[in-house]
């Protein structure tokens, strides 16, 4: 296709159009109007002109152009274009782009030059395609007459006898060239192209076509015995093609090209897959010399292709495998044709790595080995990750100690070994005392560091064959196998207590903690791993119950105690859900000066039909362990609010009643909503319920506590700090928190003979007075204690001296009724 279109407008004079065609050596000119093809004027159209007058060349081209313009899209296959020329007897076609706009012209000559007929033309002869009746015109004939003869005989060229010895030729293209410059009566012999190139009838069409191309002519005379027997042009070459033969030839060529293209694509695909493969690939010849490696090989080993080509893979040998290993490997390859396994090799840097290797022998058609292909993957990290996963499954991630799963495996083995050798073994359950306070006060990072220090200290005190495991939190297990006598376990337990009791230093903080230990023995206490763990846990819990920082040996009594605790926990859970057996007692808080009632503290009581009255010292820790503090606290609050409502309905004047909130209850996300609903449900005015919190609830979250406490104050709840001075006291928070009352712990009241206790009382009460806080002295039991308090600014007294905790009815009878009468 010619993409450099020759175009003109419909009003272009014909002479100008012909001049442009002649100068550009084009066979056609496209007529465009507003970028739309409206006509075409070709060399053959020039034969239709009246050349007797020069005025015929001055008309606009629209009057002589051919229309409509035939066109095909540029995606049309060449074979369809050739067929289109054949069926429509047309010599020019407009080719349009995807938008329907002109993109180029294609002619029959283009098809002959570019269709790829060389194999066919090389087999065909000139006499099979030439025009056997050539048009021969005398040189004296006028140009106008010659044009008429060409048109009448439907020929695109004629032989001109210029003289007795010289022949020339005039073609349609010549007509376009000469009519624009010569008069119609000019003898055609003067205008003919000379010399006339010729071929013999027996020459191949391929030779004839190449002769036309080389000499830039479009026609050849066919001479036989120096006589013109025919004319051969591009049209005759095309028209002489046997369509069926051409189609078969094209199909064969297309199949060949497609096969070559497929083969090339497959080869490119294979190359790209090999290059992009994450597996390292090595190909060697039959002598095991490397001939190819892919980029992954370089990435894995560090060797470039230039460094390994021509060498053997033995250069990667790690030295970890002996000669027998390699002999067996090659024996398998020779027998089976492949080998697959894991092998250690060495990188260029000297680093060892583990690879999963597959070696395959490649054979030719005769079965001879020509190459070996090796594919391998670095699995070093996979093995390392498997080891990490194994450690995560069997070891504690913080301390690196065995976890419960590995401990149980070792314990089972130790039990079987002890049973076989008639020996004892011991299991020590160790729990740190007050570890939660360290976490809450110093933070979890300090807590983790403490656990690491504890594990290091314990391991130093154990034998090489002993096992130290961490169950989680601050719980550790020590397995002591092969004991000669049970007393050895007691000695180890005491050593562990002593080593934990030594001071710990975490950052700038130095402190001491203790630990509680429980010991169970095999076979004295149990015969299975599960029972030994359970009974050591029971003994540890007994040690905590009896004062902490000590150890206990398991006994059957402890087992009974554990069952009792489990039963009590179940009963407490039922009591919290139903309210059965739970009640509230009220202890008065009186003014120191006149001992008149100022308020009360609500204290939970639990009476069970089987266990009888259970002390708060027992069931409150039990509720903490069982996760029941929040529902127990809400039950207590609802009982107090309901009782206040009843006293109001009875016409009594109740006093503010304070209720202790646990940390779990205080830090609920919807605490304020619950308290607002509580007041609304019981229709209570503000000021009848107070909140008591210990310092440990507030210390580590002072900023978060401030809006909660202000929210409670806005609802009308007073706020007291209970047991002030017994925990990790911090005076800084007092200036930020909306506190109303400080309650001095009973330990300071009952030890007033101590100089330090008196100093603390003076400091706390003085501080409270400056901050405008009320002070409540708890645990006042004697008149002497009452009298001693007169030295300090104490506002309220709470204790057995002024009133024991009593039921709601007794409290109303003893206190509210009197107050009502007084008012």
Task: Examine the pLDDT at 434 and tell me if it is beyond 80.
Answer: yes
For residue 753, name the pLDDT band (cuts at 50, 70, 90): low
Helix (H) or strand (E) holding 584: strand 582-591
Predicted pLDDT of residue 823: 40
Q: How confident is the model at residue 822 (pLDDT cuts 50, 70, 90)?
A: very low
Name the region of 731 (left: φ>0; alpha: ψ -120 to 50; beta: rest).
alpha
- How far is it, in rounded angstroms, from Cα 177 to Cα 31? 19
Contact 186, 142 (CB under 8 A): yes
Examine the pLDDT at 197 and tell me if it is beyond 80. Answer: yes
Q: Which two tokens stand for residue 696?
A: 């440990």
The whole-number average pLDDT for the span 628-641 is 91
- Rounded CA-CA distance 420/412 in Å is 12
What the block records as the tokens of 485 is: 């006598």
Of 20-29, 104-113, 132-141, 173-182, minimum mean pLDDT range: 173-182
Q: Report the chain's mean pLDDT, rounded to a whole number.
A: 83
| Runs of H (alpha helix) within 716-754 | 746-749
pTM of the model: 0.42
Q: Is the pLDDT of residue 249 over 80?
A: no
Give one word for 191, left, alpha or beta, with left for phi > 0 and alpha for psi -120 to 50. alpha
More confident residue, 111 or 365: 365
What tens digit of pLDDT does each residue of 475-507 get? 999 999 988 888 888 899 999 999 999 999 988
Model pLDDT, residue 179:
65
Is it the case that residue 243 has pLDDT exceeding 60? no
Amino acid 478: pLDDT: 95
pLDDT of residue 628: 87
- List Cα–Cα distances, 294 to 222, 252, 302, 339, 371, in angstroms: 62, 37, 12, 20, 16
642 pLDDT higher than 90:
yes
- Check pLDDT > 90 for residue 128: no
Which of 404, 444, 727 minimizes the C-alpha distance to 534?
A: 404
Query: pLDDT tens digits, residue range 373-424?
Result: 999 988 888 887 777 777 777 898 899 899 999 999 999 999 999 999 888 9
Q: What percent of the chain has pLDDT over 70?
A: 88
User: In 10 A of CB 262, how many CB atoms?
Assistant: 10
Residue 39's nearest CA partner among 11, 20, 19 is 11
pLDDT at 117: 61
Range of lowest pLDDT (94-103, 203-212, 251-260): 251-260
Mean pLDDT of 112-117: 58
304: Cβ contacts below 8 Å, ≥ 6 apart:
298
Q: What is the pLDDT of residue 481?
A: 93
Kindly write down the DSSP assignment for every residue of 626-677, as one continuous string: HT-HHHHHHHHHHHHHHHHHHHHHTT-----EEEE--HHHHT-TTHHHHHHH
Residue-wise pLDDT tens digits, 755-796: 777 888 888 888 888 888 899 989 899 998 888 888 889 999
Beta carbons of 749 and 779 less than 8 angstroms apart: yes
Strand partners, 41: 29
pLDDT of residue 289: 93
d(CA 634, CA 663) in angstroms, rounded, equals 13
């Amino acid at each position: 296709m010619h993409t450099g279109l020759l175009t003109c407008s419909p009003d272009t004079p014909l002479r100008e159009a012909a001049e442009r065609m002649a100068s550009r050596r084009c066979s056609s000119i496209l007529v465009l109007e507003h970028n739309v093809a409206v006509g075409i004027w070709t060399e053959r159209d020039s034969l239709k002109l009246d050349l007797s007058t020069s005025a015929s060349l001055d008309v606009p081209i629209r009057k002589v152009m051919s229309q409509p313009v035939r066109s095909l899209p540029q995606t049309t296959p060449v074979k369809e274009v050739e067929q289109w020329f054949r069926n429509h007897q047309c010599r020019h076609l407009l080719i349009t782009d995807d938008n329907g706009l002109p993109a180029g012209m294609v002619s029959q000559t283009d098809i002959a030059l570019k269709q790829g007929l060389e194999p066919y033309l090389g087999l065909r002869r000139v006499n099979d395609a030439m025009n056997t009746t050539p048009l021969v015109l005398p040189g004296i004939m006028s140009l106008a007459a010659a044009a008429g003869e060409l048109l009448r005989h439907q020929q695109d060229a004629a032989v001109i006898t210029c003289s007795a010895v010289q022949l020339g030729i005039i073609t349609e293209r010549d007509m376009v060239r000469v009519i624009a410059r010569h008069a119609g009566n000019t003898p055609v012999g003067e205008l003919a192209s000379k010399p006339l190139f010729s071929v013999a009838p027996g020459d191949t069409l391929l030779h004839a076509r190449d002769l036309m191309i080389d000499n830039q002519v479009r026609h050849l005379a066919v001479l036989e015995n120096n006589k013109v027997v025919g004319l051969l042009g591009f049209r005759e070459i095309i028209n002489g093609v046997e369509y069926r033969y051409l189609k078969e030839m094209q199909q064969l060529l297309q199949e060949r090209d497609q096969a070559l293209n497929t083969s090339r694509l497959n080869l490119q695909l294979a190359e790209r897959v090999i290059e992009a493969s994450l597996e390292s690939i090595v190909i060697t010849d039959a002598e095991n010399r490397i001939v190819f490696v892919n980029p992954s090989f370089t990435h894995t080993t560090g060797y470039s292709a230039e460094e390994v080509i021509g060498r053997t893979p033995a250069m990667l040998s790690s030295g970890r495998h002996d000669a027998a290993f390699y002999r067996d490997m090659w024996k398998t390859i020779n027998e089976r044709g492949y080998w697959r396994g894991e092998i250690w090799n060495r990188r260029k840097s000297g680093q060892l790595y583990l690879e999963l290797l597959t070696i395959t022998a490649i054979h030719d058609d005769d079965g001879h080995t020509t190459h070996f292909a090796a594919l391998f993957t670095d699995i070093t990290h996979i093995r390392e990750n498997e080891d990490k996963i194994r450690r995560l499954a069997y070891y504690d991630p913080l301390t690196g100690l065995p976890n419960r799963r590995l401990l149980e495996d070792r314990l089972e083995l130790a039990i079987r070994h002890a049973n076989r050798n008639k020996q004892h073994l011991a299991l020590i359950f160790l729990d740190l005392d007050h570890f939660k306070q360290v976490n809450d006060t110093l933070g979890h990072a300090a807590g983790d560091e403490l656990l690491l220090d504890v594990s290091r200290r314990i391991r130093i005190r154990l034998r090489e064959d002993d096992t130290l495991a961490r169950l989680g939190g601050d719980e550790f297990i020590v397995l002591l196998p092969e004991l000669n006598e049970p007393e050895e376990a007691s000695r180890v337990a005491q050593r562990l207590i002593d080593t934990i009791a030594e001071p710990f230093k975490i950052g700038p903080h130095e402190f001491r903690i203790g630990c509680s230990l429980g010991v169970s023995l095999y076979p004295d206490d149990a015969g299975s791993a599960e029972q030994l763990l359970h009974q050591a846990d029971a003994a540890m819990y007994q040690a905590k119950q009896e004062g902490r920082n000590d150890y206990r040996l398991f006994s059957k009594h402890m087992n009974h105690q554990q069952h009792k605790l489990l039963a009590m926990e179940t009963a407490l859970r039922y009591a919290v859900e139903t309210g059965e057996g739970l009640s509230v007692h009220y202890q008065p808080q009186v003014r120191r000066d006149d001992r008149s009632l100022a308020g009360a503290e609500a204290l939970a009581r639990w009476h069970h039909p089987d266990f009888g009255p259970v002390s708060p010292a027992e069931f409150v820790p039990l509720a903490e362990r069982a996760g029941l503090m929040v529902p127990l606290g809400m039950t207590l609050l609802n009982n107090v609010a309901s009782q206040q409502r009843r006293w109001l309905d009875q016409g009594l004047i109740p006093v503010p009643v304070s209720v202790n909130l646990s940390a779990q209850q205080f830090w609920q996300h919807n605490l304020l909503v619950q308290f607002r609903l509580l007041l609304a449900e019981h229709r209570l005015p503000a000021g009848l319920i107070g909140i008591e919190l210990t310092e440990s609830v507030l210390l580590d979250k002072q900023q978060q506590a401030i809006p909660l406490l202000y929210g409670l104050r806005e609802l009308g709840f007073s706020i007291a700090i209970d047991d002030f001075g017994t925990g990790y006291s911090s005076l800084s928070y007092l200036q930020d928190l909306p506190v109303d009352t400080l309650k001095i712990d009973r330990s300071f009241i009952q030890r007033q003979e101590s100089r330090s206790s008196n100093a603390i009382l003076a400091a706390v009460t003085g501080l409270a007075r400056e901050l405008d806080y009320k002070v409540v002295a708890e645990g006042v039991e004697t008149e002497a204690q009452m009298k001693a308090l007169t030295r300090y600014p104490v506002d309220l007294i709470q204790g057995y001296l002024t009133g024991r905790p009593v039921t709601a009815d007794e409290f109303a009878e003893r206190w509210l009724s009197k107050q009502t009468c007084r008012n």
